Structure 1
Amino acid sequence: MPRHSITVTAYHADNTVCPSEHLHTRSGKPLTEGCAGRDHFMASCNFSTWTSSRSSTKNYSTAQGRRHRTEQQHAESAAPPKGPAVLRQLLRLDADD
């Protein structure tokens, strides 16, 4: 089963990606010449097409990603088992029953 990983990406005001090499102050003002400054953040999931809403802080985007990953894991655990587990249940090969 693939592992869920959440990526938080910073964007400039014109919706271009702000590379992680760009240095900024805590408020998002650029310290790297030629950078427009970080305007917003978005989290995305490598496992599905989910993308968070725009957020002005990285912490909030990270929290949205954690929430999404937790919800996905609960949804997967509620899904019926696949493969050999299903066969064991159908054939009742366990001697304890």
Structure 2
Amino acid sequence: MPRHSITVTAYHSDDTVCPSEHKHTRTGEPLTEGCTGQDRFISTCSCTTSTSSSSSTKNYAIAEGRRHRAAQQQEESPAPSKGPAVLRELLRLDTDD
């Protein structure tokens, strides 16, 4: 089963990547000279489907990535057994003596 790695990237309003070296306030206002501020965030998964989600807040982009990862892992996990039916079959006593 492949490991799903989520990456969240910040973008300026002119569609350029906002590097992690740029410092911002909690509201996304730039503290670094020359930075236009963080306009949106995109979460991308390393899986082959490579879905991405665009958001105006970093926390929402992170949450979208987690939801995607959980959905992918749920699809890849084997189907649960029939539980009690399987157990009954295994424990059935043959009384045909």
Where in structure 2 are the equivalents of 1:49-88 lying within 5 Å? 49-52=50-53, 54-78=54-78
Share of identical aligned residues, percent?
Answer: 67
Rounded Cα–Cα distance in structure 1 between residues aligned with 2:67 and 2:8: 13
Shift of 1:78: 4.1
Which residue number corresponds to residue 9 of structure 2? 9
Rounded Cα–Cα distance in structure 2 between residues aligned with 1:75 and 1:16: 34
Letter in 1 for 2:58: K
Q: TM-score if structure 2 supplies the norm length?
A: 0.75
Letter in 2 for 1:47: C
Q: TM-score if structure 1 supplies the norm length?
A: 0.75
- C-alpha RMSD over aligned residues: 1.3
Shift of 1:34: 1.0
Which residue number corresponds to residue 89 of structure 2? none
Which residue number corresponds to residue 92 of structure 1? none
Rounded Cα–Cα distance in structure 2 between residues aligned with 1:61 and 1:17: 15
Three-state SS of the structure 2 residue aligned to 1:10 is strand
Three-state SS of the structure 2 residue aligned to 1:43 is strand
| The structure with more strand, counted as a fraction of residues | 2
Shift of 1:27: 1.1
Instruction: In structure 2, list runs of 5 or more residues that go unmatched.
Output: 80-97
User: How many residue pairs get matched?
Assistant: 78
**Divergent runs of 4+, >3 A:** none
Rounded Cα–Cα distance in structure 2 between residues aligned with 1:78 and 1:61: 28
Shift of 1:56: 1.0
